[in-house]
Copies of this chain bind each other. A is one copy, B any other.
Amino acid sequence: MTRRNKNDYFNVPGDAPRPVSASVTRRCQFSEVDALAIAWHGRYASFFEEAATELGHKCGLTYEAMREAGVTAPVVQLHIDYYRPLRLNERFTIHASVIWSEGAKLNTQFLITGEDGACACTGYTVQMFVETATGEVCIFPPPLLTAFHDKWLAGIYD
């Protein structure tokens, strides 16, 4: 239960391509805070997803692209470390970074920084790929993931 360093949730080989990142900046809404006027801890999954959606647009891994490819990418693991609260109306930034992996999965790291620029939260998600038609977990990366990997290795995102 010891906290990890903020940026090493995933182990990657030294020669792996660097993470691909996207971020979203917005205010903490009234509908998102709890009785203490801070963002309710369960809200962070939607914060993560907002930045992950931007990242998906960048990587060709949108909901629409996956549906057309006949796959879904369910989250099989979610982890969040909370460092300091986000206050009502505070302007914060959610950073999402997909971390290199050769397998048929998506490892994404998250960092939320508050209005002061300090780290408010870190976390990660792991997603598997599933064939929509059969419900079977993909053993090998599906073509749209391979296409993303190829671009990534080619340095398109550097």
Contacts and interface: CB of A to CB of B under 8 A. Distances in A.
Contacts of A29: 46, 49-50, 53
Interface in A105-124: 107
A17 to B, nearest CB: 19
Contacts of A157: none
B1 A126 contact: yes
Nearest to A57: B89
A82 interface: yes
B74 A82 contact: yes
A147 interface: no
Contacts of A154: none
A10 interface: yes
Interface string A18-51: 0000000001011101111100111011101110
B76 A81 contact: yes
Contact of A33 (B34, B75, B78, B82): B34
Given A42-B45, A77-B80, A1 B85 contact: no
B89 A41 contact: no
Interface string A66-86: 000000101111111111010
Interface of A: 1, 3, 9-11, 27, 29-31, 33-37, 40-42, 44-46, 48-50, 53, 62-64, 72, 74-83, 85, 88-89, 107, 126
